[in-house]
Amino acid sequence: MSQTSGIPGAHALVAKGVTKRFKTGRSHIEVLKAVDFDALHGDVTMVMGPSGSGKSTLVATLSGLLKPDEGSVSAMGEDLWKLRPGQIDRFRLDHCGFIFQGFNLFGALSALQQVTIILKYKGFAPAEARARAEIALAEVGLSKRMHQRPSELSGGEKQRVAIARALAKEPHLLFADEPTSALDGENGQIVIQLLQRAAKSHGAAVICVTHDPRLEAYADRIIHIEDGRILDDRRTTPGPGAAKTPELIGA
Ligand SMILES: Nc1ncnc2c1ncn2[C@@H]1O[C@H](COP(=O)(O)OP(=O)(O)O)[C@@H](O)[C@H]1O
Ligand SMILES: [Mg+2]
């Protein structure tokens, strides 16, 4: 977890003209309307908008989970939707971390096993996978809770396991869809600070969907989406390329 996984300020992802329609009965509803989007390494990019505005659909098209009807997504230099399905799966495994509102943990596995299994799947030898998993769990403050299963963990702890699992493989792109909405204010703050650390210390491009206005303070950039269109795109910090922190210069 110590290496920087992207050059701060460089583009991790560029999407152009992304359009997505869903069939409902005989008609189609256009959920994304020619959306242009980009995200930089080292930035926390917050996507905000009302329920039903297309936030989750956007994240799914950007992360290789849902094919858009039109438009392109270039991520880590790959034209994502030109790849074969198996290559897209590999791309997600190699480059993407995911954090969801519902934690998406395996009920039967301990915190340590949740993280280790992903690293083994990615190709690490068992001992190396376990060592990396322990480091990732320590980084989210869960060293003492590693052997607990989800049913024995609080909501905040579960989300921290999910973050450790996402960060352990040092993703270039970290997607979070409403990661704090099942948490109280204090745990929500811990979670967003961990996402911020992923951007600042590891150079990940963090794309975080939320409608929680308390999180705005942690964003480098805030993008407002409504009815499948981007209404506003505002940078709130000087930018990862412009203002290097001592930590990043020393990395
Ligand atoms: N698989 C689907 N089939 C049909 N309609 C869908 C599907 N997924 C999402 N939608 C619709 O697309 C719109 C946007 O959904 P979503 O991206 O989940 O919004 P948000 O995450 O901003 O709440 C909603 O009106 C939703 O009902
Ligand atoms: Mg959603």
Which residue out of 19, 20, 21, 22 has the highest number of ligand 1 atoms within 8 Å of its CB and is therefore the one to mutate? Answer: 22
Structural domain contains residue 151: yes
Identify the CATH number of the domain in which residue 164 sits: 3.40.50.300
One-letter identity of residue 50 = P
The residue-averaged pLDDT of 46-67 equals: 96
pLDDT digits (tens, 9 = 90+) for 160-218: 999 999 999 899 999 999 999 888 888 889 889 999 999 998 899 999 999 888 889 99
Closest-CA residue to 204 (of 124, 79, 96): 96
18 CA distance to ligand 1 middle (Å)? 15
pLDDT digits (tens, 9 = 90+) for 227-236: 999 999 999 9
Angle between helices 85-95 and 111-122 (to 10 degrees): 130
Task: Kindly report the protein residue whose alpha carbon is nearest to atom 20 of ligand 1.
Answer: 52
The pTM for the full model equals 0.90
What residue numbers bound the domain in which 179 lies? Answer: 11-245
Q: Based on C-alpha coordinates, what's the Rg of the chain?
A: 18
23 CA distance to ligand 1 middle (Å)? 11
Structural domain contains residue 31: yes
Domains of the chain: total: 1
Lowest-confidence range among 36-40, 85-89, 101-105, 149-153?
A: 101-105
DSSP letter (8 states) at residue 80? G
